Amino acid sequence: MKAIETTGWTDYELIDTGNFEKLERFGSITVARPEPQAVWSKSLSQAEWDSRADAYFVRNKDGKQNHSMGDGERGEWRIKPKTKEQWFIQYKSQQLNLNFRLGLTSFKHVGLFPEQANNWEYIYRSIQQIKNQQNNPKVLNLFAYTGGASLAAKAAGADTTHVDSVKQVVSWARENMEASHLDNIRWIVDDALKFAQREVRRGNTYNGIILDPPAYGRGPQGEKWILEESINEIITLCKQLLLPKNAFLVLNLYSMGLSALVGESLMKSIFGDIQDIEVGESYITDSFNKKLPLGVFIRFRL
């Protein structure tokens, strides 16, 4: 197992973390919002946080979570005058040039998980390797949210299918595709588990599968998703959907109850002894050198 730091951003900066919050700059906008992993103290004073933050997320008093669009907490943003509630940022590397429309949502997210840039690069490289062996690789992105991984797959030249249960989020992902000057991603508004079941029945297969499931969620027809209860079934379906060679799989886990070892054991119980597997934690370092863990990843190539 290893920890992989996400670096390389120009339009993103993790300024400070602590007291269960994080202070981040996305392009021209700086936001402060909850972060359950930041159990240490802040390096900057609260007055400095208040001064720097253009928008500060405040939880609802009832503390209820919004399971319809992921596992974010419900609340509201306290926004300084003249602060944009929607804006664009860019991720640019040697391989990728992607643009994202961000927005302040009622469930604390802004439409992007910047630590995932490391996985975008992995997806791009994996598809390039597959293209050395065959034309038109197919990639399936489940629980695809606003589409960072879908954009990376499409930019690499893959026939990309994007599945998310929330229609507004799929529309958001389409905006990101257009802003990134890409096209022809296949958009599916559906429950990820039900879609995977139907794809197995249809006999479809893919060179790459990406999964970024929430801890809790709801499908478009009210289908209930609980990660610990359903992850084994959906990975079993992925085993049937993934080609036995010239293929890759990327799984992200954000649930604090599931460790990297759980993910590794799950994969090996279903796929057998995988040779080219990477297992670990994604993290970003704030400007005071505090490392903030932001999820577990399991990824491999066949």
| In-domain check, residue 253 | yes
Q: Assess whether pLDDT exceeds 90 at residue 147.
A: yes
How high is the mean pLDDT of the chain? 91
Domain match, 69 and 117 both: no
What whole-number distance in Å separates Cα of residue 283 and Cα of residue 289?
Answer: 12
Q: What is the pLDDT at residue 67?
A: 36
Q: What is the pLDDT at residue 256?
A: 59
Q: What is the pLDDT at residue 223?
A: 73
| In-domain check, residue 105 | no
- Average pLDDT estimate for 135-142: 96
Domain match, 190 and 127 both: yes
Domain match, 120 and 13 both: no
Domain match, 60 and 145 both: no
Domain match, 117 and 211 both: yes
What whole-number distance in Å separates Cα of residue 293 and Cα of residue 232?
Answer: 24
The number of distinct structural domains making up the chain is 2
Domain match, 232 and 123 both: yes
Domain match, 163 and 274 both: yes
Asked if 185 contacts 172 with a C-beta cutoff of 8 angstroms, the reply is: no
Residue pLDDT, tens place only, 26-43 = 999 999 999 999 999 999
84 or 62: which leads in pLDDT: 84
C-alpha 138: how far from chain center: 19
| In-domain check, residue 42 | yes
Domain match, 7 and 81 both: yes
Domain match, 77 and 140 both: no
Banded pLDDT at 255 (limits 50, 70, 90): low
| In-domain check, residue 260 | yes
The domain that contains 256 carries what CATH number?
Answer: 3.40.50.150
| In-domain check, residue 98 | no
Domain match, 15 and 155 both: no
| In-domain check, residue 140 | yes
Residue pLDDT, tens place only, 267-302 = 999 999 898 999 999 999 999 999 999 999 999 999
Q: What is the pLDDT at residue 64?
A: 46
Q: Is 2 helix (H, G, I), strand (E, B) or coil?
A: strand
Nearest to 112 by CA among 150, 140, 84: 150
Domain match, 282 and 193 both: yes
- Its domain, for residue 236, covers 113-301
| In-domain check, residue 143 | yes
Q: What is the pLDDT at residue 214?
A: 80
Domain boundary among 32, 58, 90: 90
- Average pLDDT estimate for 213-235: 79
- Average pLDDT estimate for 57-61: 82
Domain match, 51 and 135 both: no
Residue pLDDT, tens place only, 85-97 = 999 999 999 999 9
Using a pLDDT cut of 70, give the percent of the chain over it.
Answer: 94
What whole-number distance in Å separates Cα of residue 258 and Cα of residue 252?
Answer: 11
Q: Assess whether pLDDT exceeds 80 at residue 75.
A: yes
pTM beyond 0.85: the answer is: yes
Banded pLDDT at 111 (limits 50, 70, 90): very high
| In-domain check, residue 97 | no
The domain that contains 49 carries what CATH number?
Answer: 2.60.40.1180
